[in-house]
Amino acid sequence: MATRQKEEVISMIDTFQEFKDLKNIDRPTMINVLEDSFRSVLAKMFETDENFDIIINPDKGDFEIWKNRTVVADDELQNSNNQVSLTEARKSVADVEIGEDFSEQVNFENFGRRAILNLRQTLAAKILELQKDELYNKYKDLVGKITTAEVYQIWKREMMLVDEDGNELSLPRTEQIATDSFRKNDQVRAVVLRVDNANNNPKIILSRTAPIFLQRLMEREIPEIADGTIRIVKIVRLPGERAKIAVETSDDRIDPVGACVGVKGGRIRGIVHELRGENLDVIPYTTNVKLLIQRALSPAAISQINVYEESKTAEVFMRPEEVSLAIGKNGANIKLACLLTDYQIDVYREGDSDDVFLDNFSDAIDPWVIQALKGIGLATAKSVLEADPAVIADRADLEDETVEEVRSVLAKEFEL
């Protein structure tokens, strides 16, 4: 039985050695974990571990435990944990005297099978804690950086991936591009969004929809961004649909937009492919708000802009045929323009005297509904009536019934 128990202890150290090799745990840390595990068990058995010396050689898979006690007269022995009688001590060391320190090697396997099991459990718990700490420390330094991992399991609300070390990473459905389609064993690129560590249980959250993911892709593909010659001022995205990127450079010899796009779109083509066909609008940044709004609404041509800095709103007037370009498919262009410029942009048809601003219907339509419609570029009655009701409901986040009520009120204005 004793031989079997010793083999179990040695095997346990060998197992830890394998763990060390896999996880690149340094030798001092490994020895400390093993020693702490032994001391934890010894403290439970003897109420203290202070009078024990533990010598570990994990490379060879062996260890020694020495118990240190003080020699006392036979009739003065009170605590056998830290005292040893003179008669007992002289069985090992013939010339030992009272008051001297006495050390003897003890065999851990002689403590019994329960002690070995306790050691195994303690060691396993410490290894798990060490793994968690290592995972957290590794990925907290990678937040905001791109990583590549393999799809391991797919669920409805998230997808689990594993990195090259076998660590589990989470890519929630909300952080996936709507048209993403992955299968088990696929390699996925994403940015490390954050590291949650509730109850010392780290969870690595990845994202393919965050603006920083697009920024990191551009840094990889465009040398001028990587070396700082061109600076990305701001990125706004509707993942998988469209994104706007404002860039600037302090070098007048460089066209920042041309450098980002490349000849025939060569530099940006791979990024678009990675983002599932997301249209990327790269515009030169300027502190001139009117000019920035004009560039943000491209490709629409603007006739006039009125900017109100205090309310952070802007009125944009353009020819009727330009309005649809300014708004974009499903309102994407104007929504991104608002996000990029930090202004609420209201688009009006130039010269359409028959049209009426939505603000004039505030007595019949709730103000929050009007703001929701203006938020997707529908600032006049005709623009609402001409738009697809289903698209309005989706983009403005309104109930179908609400949209129909609004259209009914507006239709009466034109007796439709």
For residue 355, is it within any domain? no
Are 118 and 232 found together in one domain?
no
pLDDT over 70 at 24, yes or no? no
For residue 19, is it within any domain? yes
Are 43 and 58 found together in one domain?
yes
Q: Which helix (H) or strand (E) holds 335?
A: helix 332-341
Are 120 and 40 found together in one domain?
yes
Domain at 251, CATH number: 3.30.300.20
For residue 329, is it within any domain? no
Closest CA to 104 of 142, 67, 141: 67
Closest CA to 166 of 134, 207, 123: 134
| pLDDT at residue number 224 | 94
For residue 296, is it within any domain? no
Q: Residues with Cβ < 8 Å from 27, sequence gap 6 or more?
A: 20, 58
For residue 43, is it within any domain? yes
Parallel, antiparallel, or unpaired: how do β-strands 101-106 and 62-72 relate? antiparallel
Q: How confident is the model at residue 209 (pLDDT cuts 50, 70, 90)?
A: very high
Range in 108-122, 234-248, 284-298, 352-366 with the lowest mean pLDDT:
108-122
pLDDT over 80 at 139, yes or no? yes
The domain boundary residue, chosen from 188, 208, 228: 208
For residue 364, is it within any domain? no
| pLDDT at residue number 89 | 81
Range in 171-175, 222-226, 369-373 with the lowest mean pLDDT:
369-373
| pLDDT at residue number 72 | 87
The domain boundary residue, chosen from 208, 235, 252: 208
pLDDT over 70 at 32, yes or no? yes
Range in 183-197, 266-280, 285-299, 395-409 with the lowest mean pLDDT:
395-409
Count of structural domains, the chain: 3
Are 230 and 268 found together in one domain?
yes
- The string of pLDDT tens digits covering residues 59-101 is 666 778 888 988 888 888 888 888 888 888 888 888 888 888 9
Domain at 196, CATH number: 2.40.50.140
Percent of the chain's residues with pLDDT above 70? 90
For residue 27, is it within any domain? yes
Are 133 and 148 found together in one domain?
no
For residue 315, is it within any domain? no
**Could you please report the per-residue DSSP string of 319-333?**
-HHHHHHHH-GGGHH
The domain boundary residue, chosen from 81, 105, 138: 138
**In angstroms, how far is CA 124 from the centroid of its own chain?**
28
Whether the CB-CB separation of 374 and 344 falls below 8 Å is answered with yes
Parallel, antiparallel, or unpaired: how do β-strands 242-249 and 279-284 relate? parallel
| pLDDT at residue number 7 | 58
Whether the CB-CB separation of 94 and 20 falls below 8 Å is answered with no
Domain at 23, CATH number: 3.30.1480
| pLDDT at residue number 1 | 45
Whether the CB-CB separation of 280 and 262 falls below 8 Å is answered with no
Are 214 and 204 found together in one domain?
no
Q: What is the rounded distance in angstroms from the CA atom of residue 44 to the CA atom of residue 188?
A: 48
Whether the CB-CB separation of 47 and 41 falls below 8 Å is answered with no
| pLDDT at residue number 352 | 57
- Range of the structural domain that residue 272 is part of: 210-285
Work out the average pLDDT over 18-45: 72
Work out the average pLDDT over 310-322: 89
Percent of the chain's residues with pLDDT above 90? 42
Are 37 and 105 found together in one domain?
yes
Are 114 and 125 found together in one domain?
yes
- The string of pLDDT tens digits covering residues 121-131 is 777 787 788 88
